[in-house]
Amino acid sequence: MKDRVFYFGQDRLSIADAIALIDGSLKGELSKQARKKILKSFNVVKNIAASDKAVYGVNTGFGVLCRTVIEPSKRQKLQYNLLKSHSFGVGSLVDKRIAKLMLILKVHSLSMGYSGVSLETIERIIWHINNDCIPIVPMKGSVGASGDLVPLAHLFLPLIGLGFVEFNGKKMEADKALKQAGLKPLILHPKEGLALINGTQFISSWAVWGLYRFKNLLEHADITAAITIEALKGSIRPFDERLHKLRPFKGNLYVAKKIYSLLEDSEIVRSHINCNKVQDPYSLRCVPQVHGACWDAFLHLKEKLLIEINSVTDNPVVFDEETVLSGGNFHGEPVGMAIDYASLAAVELGNIIDRRCNLLLAGDDELPKMLLEEVGINSGFMISEYVTAALASENKTMAFPATADTIPTSLGQEDHVSMASIAAVKFNRILDNLTDIVAIEFLLAFQGFGFRRPLVSTEPIEKVIAIISDVVEFAREDRIFSYDVEKLRKLIESSRIVKSIEGYYPNQLSQTFQL
């Protein structure tokens, strides 16, 4: 079977396709149709550049300097100077996967044929993607409007032989990497520098990567909740579909159906069906409402990102020689607000997991306090509560929406900016902490589940328990539990657990939540 190819500028890019392009399991190419559109747009800009018509970024300065007309002999240097002067980034370096995704998203946008960039330039960016020659990009400097100017300037310095790349496993100067590959730096044409750095690809790349991670964590959080319910002998009645059809939020229905499917045939559930408990605490009983709301936030961000990564976000936009429109498609607000919403959901998911961890530690008539039979000499899992509290609290400090802030730039010409770039990076920092919180619930739920033996749960839950058993052991005395958390973190990031049981809860809604 022939490998599937993604055609930049023509095919509709999904989140799953974007991730596949990063890891190389999907290859990107230009179709004949895209090539024609690119050439047509490029020729329009070339003709404008040869005329006396003033067009922003083609024969004028940038930002507050937009009224400064550049004489013809200096217009090529204008584009070079733009890349150099705007490479003003600071801070730690962007993850290589994010930098590669920035290249992918930029190529897709430019290939739609509204940016006036040459075919040669677009093909060179595709060469960087396919040959894993990835630019080194500093993290900080974008305000999420006027495009992600600073990180994108660093991203495209290597096209003109400047800056640094990671190539063949080594960090090196871009010109040396090009020489190794038998390539020369490009000559930039009118508007190309501006088209390269004007756009939302820094914001979108971090958001796409975050959405991918968030889905994985949501899936694992639903599973850990199910194991915790088993460990605490919680009721599955709050997950009855009839209840949720009376308040049919998509996320609620999805989570309730999933957890009910995972637990309904469990021996553990049957063992306490006639117990004298009336209602479980909210962190068990309201999992569909809280996890479901987080899934709905995921859906909202997914919807916005699918529009964004299939859009033209630079400025000005080239339609024809008579119509070159200056606008604000580079402004990050539409996705920035959705990212902030998803960040809030990630924070809240950590909050409810922290409370379930507390329930597991508190003990009951069958579960021992701190989840060890002999405490006193052993502290058991006591300190896990401190760690989840610290992580959840740190996440709360990052819950303030970045898009609620703005500081005017370019001496007031750009007087409202989105700060969506900050929102996107912050979202991933929250997810870093959330991953550890989910890992800790897995550890505690697994330990609590062990006290329910010899009863068995359902086939999918027992599969999950077996996978966790491959990584950590049931604890009978104190040990260095941080090692267990690290192992479980890696297990979560591998998605092995989710993949092992994804066929056990068929649901008409599940397709809605796919990437």
- Tell me whether strands 323-325 and 164-167 are parallel, antiparallel or unpaired: unpaired
Cα 312 off chain centre by: 20
Q: Is 131 a catalytic residue?
A: no
254 included as an active-site residue: no
Distance in Å from the first CA to the final CA of the chain: 23
In the residue annotation, 128 being an active-site residue is answered as no
Length of the chain: 515
Look at residues 197, 112, 210 and name the one whose alpha carbon lies nearest to residue 155.
197
CA dist 145 and 147 (Å) reads 5
Contact of 37 with 109, CB cutoff 8 Å: no
Residue 330 annotated as catalytic: yes
Residue 357: CA count within 13 A, CB half-sphere: 27
Which DSSP state fits 2?
A: P
- The DSSP output letter for 172 is E
CA-CA distance, 6 to 466, in Å (whole number)?
Answer: 38
Backbone phi, psi, residue 429, to 5°: -65, -40
Cβ atoms 110, 117 nearer than 8 A: yes
Please tell me which residue in 164, 214, 330, 427 is annotated as part of the active site.
330
Of 56, 202, 239, 381, the catalytic one is 56
Helix H or strand E encompassing 323: strand 323-325
Catalytic residue among 6, 8, 59, 86: 86
392-395's contacts with Cβ under 8 Å and 24+ in sequence apart are: 392/347, 392/350, 392/351, 392/354, 392/433, 392/437, 394/433, 395/346, 395/347, 395/350, 395/430, 395/433, 395/434
Which one is catalytic: 260, 414, 441, 446? Answer: 414
- Is 7 in a helix, a strand, or coil? strand
Whether 496 is catalytic: no
SS3 of 98-153: the string is HHHHHHHHHHHHHCCCCCCCCHHHHHHHHHHHHCCCEECCEEECCCCCCCCHHHHH
414 among known catalytic residues: yes
Q: Specify whether the CB–CB gap between 160 and 185 falls below 8 A.
A: yes
Q: Would you call 386 a catalytic residue per the annotation?
A: no
Q: By three-state DSSP, how is residue 223 classified? A: helix
Using DSSP, state whether 180 is helix, strand or coil.
helix
Inter-residue contact 59 to 70 (CB < 8 Å): yes
Active-site residue, from 198, 351, 395, 433: 198
Peptide bond into 316 cis (omega under 30): yes
- Active-site positions? 56, 86, 198, 282, 285, 330, 414
